[in-house]
Amino acid sequence: MAKKRFLSRFSVFDLVIIAMMASLGIAIKPVVVPLTHIITGPLYIPGGVIAGGFYMLWLVLGAGLVGKRGTATLIALVQAIMVVAIGVFGTHGIISLITYLLPGISVDLVLLLTGHRGCCLGCCFAAGIAANISGTFLVNIVFFQLPIIPLVLSLSSAALSGGIGGIIAYNIIKQFKKYDVINNSG
């Protein structure tokens, strides 16, 4: 019953945006991750740390476009289900339900705590950082178990990459608002 009430807050258009953001976030991974391995490989940093900023931006972008609480978590849940069901690039099996969901929860938590909805540069930047750091940290705990110095370097790189992803998401949101494609002011 609570699930039905939660989903009833979203229009069909919102759900289409959520599905598109989830799909784009998954589709970009096989392109971006190998390119980032060129940079991160010699530094012994997992490629997903830097690439994460580019595919976490879809969580922030979706949250900003829809403008409703829980959007990023819903995008992340759809991504996790897609990855587990299809077994796409970079899957961690059933653990993907957790590793994909935490960044979405982090975006929604940052937006909730700041009282924003992906509406300004600051909240998008912070949400991007939170998404990529939480994802990087959880994947490290579950899979890599890096020593402290490489972990700090990875988390710092994740913050930079996630922040850049948040800035990119904000600029896309700004363009959509400029041309009245969306209006989620409240």
Q: Of all residues in the chain, what percent carry a pLDDT higher than 70?
A: 93
* Domain 12-178, CATH class in plain words: mainly alpha
Looking at residue 186, what is its pLDDT?
Answer: 46
Runs of H (alpha helix) within 41-147: 47-66, 71-86, 96-114, 121-139
Q: Where do the structural domains in the chain lie, given as residue ranges?
A: 12-178
Looking at residue 183, what is its pLDDT?
Answer: 63
Higher pLDDT, 7 or 45: 7
Assess contact for 65 and 185: CB atoms under 8 A. no
- How much is the average pLDDT of 85-110? 84
- How much is the average pLDDT of 140-167? 89
Structure-block tokens of residue 18: 């959520």
Assess contact for 2 and 70: CB atoms under 8 A. no
pTM for the full predicted model: 0.89
